[in-house]
Structure 1
Amino acid sequence: MLKDLFTKKKKYASVPSEQAKQDVPEGIMTKCSNCKKIMLTKELKKNMQVCISCSYHLQMTARDRLLCLLDESSFEEYDEGMVSENPLNFPGYSEKLEKDRQKSGLNEAIVTGKGKIDGHPAVFAVMDSGFRMGSMGSVVGEKITRAIERAIEEGIPFIIFTASGGARMQEGVLSLMQMAKTSSALKMFSDNKGLIISIMTHPTTGGVSASFASLGDYNFAEPGALIGFAGRRIIEQTIREDLPEDFQTAEFLLKHGQLDAVIHRHQLKESLANILGIHQNGGGSQW
């Protein structure tokens, strides 16, 4: 009997570790990066990647964003087959590009094309942080420039969604050149009385925030989006001062006059449709 007390199998399961509690089945459930609530991925997708609990705006793929915004079957994609090369022979860059193509299902970090919102036509450029963190390389800049030129030809507005970690280091100065290239194209578009709408999503940083992301006639952002050029720590070390907690958030920029509005994702389609309608009906656009 005494022996049995030491050899008997345990009747009770062990308490799982904290790590085990936090593990989420891949693809089935998604954890909010803000409030940590775990939700069914399909329910989160129905809610446009907005947390059901705290309304935090999770990152969204370019194609999902277009699907939520545009009229059904109205999208015509431009330059889908354009792919980046490795012009500087940067070690491992080609392999990373191929890996991102397979992971994201995209050839580059941006999708461009023509579509309609409530019947109003526009040219769209939508960045995707799932491909090289939405970084700006030569192909990204070229696709944006070509999209702007198509908008000029058709005389319709240009709408861009940004989500980027900045310039792509593997392409060096060729990446930085895209800042001037896209900015020049937008200036030409503006001179032709074109309407430019920029929507900055989380995150929009570096050379992207310092160029085409900030050159809209309307500059909007999603709630809580990180928007800025240099990182917080670098700025604090440079100016030798502590920055506000909400520094470089969409709300901070709105308060200081750098944005026209912060728009919840659920209200964005209606807001864009209203703006397009106003300009189409005598608000200064040529189309």
Structure 2
Amino acid sequence: MSLFDWFANRQKPKSPAKDRQEREIADGLWTKCPACSTLTYTKDLHSNQMVCVECGHHLRIYADERVEQLIDPGSWQPLDLDLRPVDPLSFRDRKAYSDRLRETQDKTGLIDGVQTGLGQLDGLAIGLGVMDFRFMGGSMGSVVGEKLTRMIEAASRDRRPVIIVCASGGARMQEGMLSLMQMAKISAALERHRESALFYVPVLTHPTTGGVTASFAMLGDIILAEPKATIGFAGRRVVEQTLREKLPDDFQTSEYLLTHGFIDAIVPRTQLKKTLAQLIRLHQPSLSVTASQLDSTSLEPASNGGEVLSHLMPKASTVPNSFPDSLPAKFRSED
């Protein structure tokens, strides 16, 4: 027997009761940041909206927490709680779609992958849809599409701006064309909302991909995203294999999309509610706001190195007075 073995045998094993007690104390008390590995007291992390206080990494949160963070207390009116998904195609992969739905509902306590409703954000009446990645990767099926469409239509009737928080792997393949048609249905509802001169802001969170990106996620008057969110259509490996070339390390991140003009601003989660309220006051036709009423802190550089709102505000000197003035001289009539 080696000296190491002798010392190891002399160690008294922990009693099961003591070991169980230590695990009970540790479970859920601390949360490890997946980006910087910092251990943070979970209660403090929740008070900071699940944003790491050390590195600013945005941990994943779900629909209930989003609603709580964005909607004023006591003002939330959920819509269409009775809508439930079905299996119209009797689809089966490794297991039947109906079984997969039932298992996911039991595991998550959710009916489907989105919550919709009407409420107030900083005293402003809005329509809100929040996708929940826990439910089959936030995939967009017929219930997700129907609930979002009904919410947009309700907001249009009440002349409310619409905010949709996106987190999705795309269209739900188990529903086939019924899933794909939701892209057009939601987009059509948003077009009618736009024709009523109402405001729409999608908030792209990690991840926003597939058919959601290809439809309503990119149709906003102003498109916001959380820092370092994955945003794209096809997966990175699919794109690389198709193009047969190596993609940049930051490809399909919110920072890459901001640099290339696909989104308008990256907003840290802790500033999201205030930023949305200011944008609504700027853009909603029925509301007015002057520059002096804006909180000056909104125009300071954000932690990501860009400005949250200042570059979104129109500059009068760059806006043509009329449509013909915006055309090159050779295309203007000489009346």
TM superposition score normalised by structure 2 = 0.76
Give the structure 2 partner of residue 29 of structure 1. Answer: 30
- AA aligned to 1:238 is T
CA distance in 2 between counterparts of 1:73 and 1:66 reads 11
Q: Which residues of structure 2 form unaligned runs of 5+?
A: 14-24, 290-335
Q: What residue identity is the alignment partner of 1:49?
A: M
- Distance in 2, Cα, partners of 1:206 & 1:25: 38
**Structure 1 gap segments, 5+ residues each:** 15-23
Give aligned-pair identity as a percent: 47
1:205 is aligned to 2:204: no
1:237-285 deviations in whole A, cap 9, x for unaligned?
11111111000000000000001100000111110111122234248xx
Instruction: Supply the AA of the counterpart residue of 1:165.
Output: G
**CA–CA separation in structure 2 for the residues paired with 1:238 and 1:106:** 37
User: In the alignment, is residue 89 of structure 1 matched against residue 90 of structure 2?
Assistant: yes
Distance 2:128 2:5 in 1: 70
2:297 corresponds to: none
| Secondary structure of the corresponding residue to residue 200 of structure 1 | strand
RMSD of the TM alignment (CA)? Answer: 2.2
**Which residue matches 1:281?**
287
Distance between the aligned counterparts of 1:135 and 1:26, measured in 2?
A: 30
- Kindly state the Cα deviation for residue 12 of structure 1 after the two structures are TM-superposed: 4.1
Indicate the larger mover: 217-226 or 103-112. Answer: 103-112
Correspondence for 1:174: 178
Q: With the length of structure 1 as denominator, give the TM-score of the two structures.
A: 0.89
| Higher RCO structure (Cα 8 Å, ≥6 apart) | 1
**Structure 1 equivalent of residue 43 of structure 2:** 42
Aligned to 1:10: 9
Match of 2:58 in 1: 57
Which deviations, in whole Å up to 9, do the C-alpha atoms of 1:80-119 show, x marking residues without a partner? 1211001111232122212222222221100000011110
| Number of the residue aligned with 2:316 | none
Q: Which residue of 2 aligns with 1:17?
A: none
The residue that corresponds to 1:240 in the other structure is 244
After the TM superposition, which segments of 4 or more aligned residues of structure 1 sit over 4 Å from their partners?
Answer: 5-9
Deviations 1:110-150 (A, max 9, x none): 00000111100100000010111100000000001101110
Given the alignment, which residue of 121, 142, 146 partners 1:142?
146
Query: Highest CA radius of gyration, 1 or 2?
Result: 2
Q: CA deviation at 1:11?
A: 3.1
Q: What CA distance in whole angstroms lies between the structure 2 residues aligned with 1:72 and 1:248?
A: 35
Deviation string, structure 1 residues 25-79 (Cα, Å, up to 9, x no partner): 5544332222233333332222111122211111111111110111111110000
Letter in 1 for 2:55: C
Give 2:10's aligned amino acid.
Answer: K
CA distance, structure 2, for counterparts of residue 67 and residue 147 of structure 1: 18
Q: Distance in 2 between matches of 1:196 and 1:106?
A: 26
Amino acid at match of 2:209: T
Distance 1:105 1:237, change over 3 A: same
Q: Aligned equivalents of 2:274 and 2:63: distance in 1? A: 19
